[in-house]
Amino acid sequence: MAPDSARLLAAASALVEQGLEMVVLLDALGIVQAASAGVIKRFGLSPDELTGRAMVDLVHPDDRQRLAAELSALARSEPGTAVRVEYRVTQPDRSIRWLRTLYVNCLANPAVGAIVATCQDVTEYRQASDAFLDSHHRFETVFASTLDALLLCDDQRHYVEVNPAACALLGRTREQLLRLRIDDVVPEGEREAFVAAWPAFMTNGRAAGEQVMVRADGTQCPVEFRSVANVLPGVHLSAIRDVSARRAAEDQANLLQQQLRALTGRLHSLQEEERHRIAREVHDELGQLLTALKLDLAWSKRRLASHGLVTTSGMREKCESMSALVDDAIGSVRRIASGLHPTELDQLGLVAAIEAHVREFSVRTGVVTSVVATLDDSNLDFETRVQLLRITQEAMTNVSRHAQATTVAITLDRDDHGLRLVITDNGRGMAVVPPGSLGLLGMKERARLCGGELHVDSAPDQGTSVRVVIPARGSSGAGTRVGA
């Protein structure tokens, strides 16, 4: 190697400290003429061992043909021509590294007389670049194929990218949407509020909710959205889902629920009418028959006595037994008729009907029961009185069946918010109130028919409280049956 080339090589080798790893001089055939000390790190060969070897033999087999073609073309090119090539080399430890090499044709330069190669390890850069491209490809794939509408906008709310689902949702092409701002697809009457809310979104970084968007044909579409600010600097992402089908299903479900409640209310009304009719017929027909039977039995007893036929103890006891049976039958008829439709409810009102039921309950079960009522129920409509009585009866039935209680307290009062009925026992309680209980569902439905709500509070060994609240007229509730 000429002295000038040696000095040039020494000067070029100093560039290693500026980020280059090695400098190599090649002849026109790509044979190494000289190399800096950096070749030891990359090829495991000293500069002397590397000299005389073909450069293409030092690179990865898959890259040799490409590098040979580049070097051949460079040797035939104009002096000073440069070409940048990236290729792989196999390390002494058999690992693969990427080198970026700048080859400059200095063959005609008498001071150099070689192709000068300056090399730099770019493995980490290539890995990061490949990872970015892979991530970008995955993002593009997800962005394009997701069923939700995805829209990217800038700080001025201009759309900068949209996916096919967004185009389908808004009835516009990608090119049309990229000429619009978010404001343009919001109903005109809501644009001012939308623009006013934008700074808060930028500050908070997130937003979610429901919004109406306008399609190209002017139709409106309710959507559910989630937005994230600055997914990239100055770029904001919104994911939007069409909820018009869900809204329609919800409206249909609400309509069916209203119809079901109306039907339930009508069934309850028909049931009460039928109970009233049966109670009246049982009381009037059977009651009158049993009363007539009792009178006939008393007449027969007197006639037999006048003929001296009831002097024997057997005949007398038989007559008394028959009379007692008739009295029991009359009592059963009255109890059945009262159970079907308490006469107190018609004649004396809700409080009296509850007190009558409580007295019968206490006698039958032995549970100590109290009623505290500060309510004037004279202005309650009949339907409300019936439903509250049936709720009380169902709650008391549950106490006798499940609670194992010794006391029950019933409170019926009214305040500025409306009417309140509370039935509390000291029984064993429940850890979880069974949501599918038919009795509980029935009580809740009866409360709703009155325009109120029913709540059950219970805990193990803490008893159970059934609470009905019917809002007064003019309060925030839905109730309309309770007057002031």
Task: Kindly tell me if the per-residue pLDDT of 17 is higher than 60.
Answer: no
Tell me the CATH number of domain 146-242, given options 2.40.50.140, 3.30.70.260, 3.30.450.20, 2.30.110.10. 3.30.450.20
List all residues 6 or more positions away from 322 whose beta carbon is below 8 Å from its beta carbon: 297
Return the pLDDT at 9: 52
Structure tokens at 257: 């629920």
Percent of the chain with pLDDT over 90: 35
Give the homologous superfamily in CATH for domain 343-484.
Histidine kinase-like ATPase, C-terminal domain (3.30.565.10)
Q: Where do the structural domains in the chain lie, given as residue ranges?
A: 3-128, 146-242, 265-341, 343-484
Residue 434: other Cβ atoms inside 10 A? 11
Q: What is the pLDDT of residues 267-320, one digit of tens each?
A: 766 776 677 677 666 666 676 777 777 777 777 777 777 766 655 656 777 777
Contact of 221 with 213, CB cutoff 8 Å: yes
Instruction: Tell me, yes or no, if the two domains 3-128 and 343-484 fold the same way.
Output: no
Amino acid (one-letter) located at 178: L
Cα–Cα distance measured from residue 116 to residue 246, given in angstroms and rounded to the nearest whole number: 70
Strand 418-425 to strand 407-415: parallel, antiparallel, or no bridges (unpaired)? antiparallel
Q: Give the burial class of 170: count Cβ atoms within 10 A of its Cβ; 0-12 exposed, 13-18 middle, 19 or more buried.
A: buried
User: What strand order describes the sheet that includes 368-373?
Assistant: 368-373, 407-415, 418-425, 464-471, 453-458
Name the range with the highest mean pLDDT among 101-115, 123-137, 338-352: 101-115
Cα–Cα distance measured from residue 200 to residue 61, given in angstroms and rounded to the nearest whole number: 58
- Check residue 211 and report its DSSP letter: E
Cα–Cα distance measured from residue 62 to residue 67, given in angstroms and rounded to the nearest whole number: 10
Q: What is the pLDDT of residues 314-365, one digit of tens each?
A: 677 777 778 788 777 777 776 776 666 666 666 678 888 888 888 888 998 9
Structure tokens at 423: 């039935």
The structural architecture, per CATH, of the domain 3-128 is 2-Layer Sandwich (3.30)
Q: What is the pLDDT of residues 141-158, one digit of tens each?
A: 777 888 889 999 999 999
Structure tokens at 229: 């600010």
Return the pLDDT at 6: 55
Task: Kindly tell me if the per-residue pLDDT of 129 is higher than 90.
Answer: no
Rg (CA), the chain: 48
Return the pLDDT at 279: 65
Q: Is 95 helix (H, G, I), strand (E, B) or coil?
A: coil
Return the pLDDT at 79: 92
Return the pLDDT at 321: 79
Structure tokens at 351: 């409080």
Cα–Cα distance measured from residue 472 to residue 417, given in angstroms and rounded to the nearest whole number: 6
